Amino acid sequence: MVRGLEPAHRGRMELEWRNVRGSQMRLLDLFCGAGGGSVGYRRAGFTEIVGVDINPQRRYPFEFVRGDALEFVANTGTNLT
Q: What is the model's pLDDT at position 77?
A: 75
Residue 30, strand partner residues: 52
Question: What distance in Å separates the CA atoms of residue 32 and residue 19, rounded to the nearest whole number?
Answer: 27
Q: Where are the domains of the chain?
A: 24-76
pLDDT digits (tens, 9 = 90+) for 26-61: 889 999 999 999 999 999 989 999 999 999 999 999
Q: Does pTM surpass 0.85?
A: no
Long-range contacts from 28-31, C-beta under 8 angstroms, 24+ separation:
28/52, 28/73, 28/78, 28/80, 29/62, 30/69, 30/70, 30/72, 30/73, 31/69
The percentage of residues in the chain with a pLDDT greater than 70, rounded to a whole number, is 67
